[in-house]
Amino acid sequence: MDIHSIEFYVLAFMVAVALVALLLGQRKQMPAVTRIVELPLGEPGDMVPINDAAPVKPSTLRLTARSGGMVTIERTAIPLHDGETVNLIATIIDDKITIQEKKGMVAAFGSREQYYDGSVDVDFFPFEKVYVRYESQVNGQWSKFSFLNREGNTVAHDLAY
């Protein structure tokens, strides 16, 4: 094969493309892990009229790293009717965690709406910096932030619409 032939340049180009593909190849992504936990609720807070008034305190989310990799998730001002429950569905893929807040048990129509606070300890956060997206399907609010799971580290965010 002559160095000035078209075949040589086509072959050299193909080898170069193969080398670039090897160097820039995608890293293996870990399979998704899903965890479902119930969010225990405290006593209902002050009642707010259902018209255009805002809740007494803002809807906030707080993550606190505990010993042994445990993380406390605290959520305030969740609008629920009497008898409703809340579940957290966490999907973990590598360093990304998406937590969806969903109603577990839905109350009968017409019951009174109140604001609840909830707190739960979970063990599914890795010992590293993670990127968290929290989505409340209860009231349509969300937040996106990073969190370092090291004992004593706390992150708090107001949820936005």
Tokens of 127: 């010992």
Regarding predicted confidence, which is higher, 52 or 44?
Answer: 44
**For residues 2-7, average pLDDT:** 81
pLDDT tens digits, one per residue of 89-102: 999 998 999 999 99
Query: Over 114-152, what HEC string results?
Result: EEEEEEEEECCCCCCEEEEEEEECCCCCEEEEEEECCCC
Percent pLDDT > 70 in the chain is: 88
The pLDDT of residue 51 is 45
The pLDDT of residue 87 is 95
Distance CA 31, CA 156 (A): 29
Distance CA 62, CA 87 (A): 16
What residue ranges do the domains of the chain occupy? 33-158
pLDDT tens digits, one per residue of 104-120: 877 666 677 888 899 99
End-to-end CA distance of the chain: 66
